[in-house]
Amino acid sequence: MTTLTLGEATALALGRMHAGTSGLRRRPPARSGAPHRTGAPVRRDSIEAGTFEEQFFAVPAKGETDRLLRMARAALDTGRRLKRAVRTEGHVLSPAEAALTGLTAGAVRVFEEICTLARLNAGRVFPSYNRLAEATALGRATVARALAALERAGFLVRQRRFKRVEGEGPRYAQTSNAYRPMAPQRLLRHLPRWMTPVPIPDDAAFRQTERAEQVEQMHRSLTCRELADTLVGGALGRVLAKLGAALDRRDMETPCESQNKPQPLHQSIHSSRHSVGLVARQASPDGDKT
């Protein structure tokens, strides 16, 4: 029987070492990104499924997925022309142009499937690699390279997810990624001119500015709780609403200035209200456009 020191026994109990035929050996570090010590195969930057999807997914507007697919096909043609320019003219690619040259016909086919799922499922897209490979008649490795190329080009936002596995103690396992198709703003100048958004007329821009000022004035008149309820929904909105309610109660309990007993107002109340509003705007689906 192997005699262990106190330190070796502690390391063995914590899973940092394992016993072999030739004695104790240090266990290689787990490739897990989840907050646990079970060594479950969870990749880095993964978020638990069901905790962020309400803020991540967005319902596409009518015709938006078709427009994104046309942009991807035009980007593929532009990338091919850039490759030809590199071979024949020695053209030096910028980072945005290099991202375009990384697109392939397989990547556009995968993007078409993601856009179809976004249109049919109100923006909720989380297919597995096997599902994408089956739908596109491509191999898993080709699908993985296509997703990476789409993400580099800015056509796709991908978020890794993990899920809890029922069993003894906390267990986690990787599950399918969440995807959101997008229009890559940095590539618009490389695409055909007819795909560039039409400039907003001056009168429409003035109306938008006037409406934004009215909305901002309305937000300033709301309490912290009302502001969180207005801008954010879901679990995050409920948390911010509770925080806003606490700030509102503190605001009511704080003594105000009076003519006979001048007393400075609590400046942190105003800064806290500003912080709640800022977090709520950043967490809202429309961001600063709200």
Residue 161 backbone phi and psi in degrees, to 5: -130, 150
Q: DSSP strand E in the chain: where?
A: 17-20, 23-26, 47-48, 156-164, 172-181
| Burial tier of 150 (Cβ tally within 10 Å: 0-12, 13-18, 19+) | buried
Output the tens digit of pLDDT for each of the chain's 290 residues: 455 555 555 544 444 444 555 555 555 544 444 444 445 568 888 999 999 999 899 999 999 999 999 999 999 999 999 999 999 999 999 888 899 999 999 999 999 999 999 999 999 999 999 999 999 999 999 999 999 999 999 999 999 999 988 776 668 889 999 999 998 877 667 666 555 555 567 777 777 788 888 878 877 777 776 766 666 666 666 777 777 777 777 766 655 444 444 444 444 445 555 565 665 565 555 554 44
> Six-digit token pair at 247?
């700030």
CA atoms within 13 A on the CB side of 136: 29
Neighbours of 179 (CB within 10 A): 27
> Six-digit token pair at 153?
């080009």
> Six-digit token pair at 235?
């679990």
Domain locations along the chain: 53-195, 202-254+268-289
According to the model, what pLDDT value does residue 277 have? 61
Architecture of the domain defined by 53-195: Orthogonal Bundle (1.10)
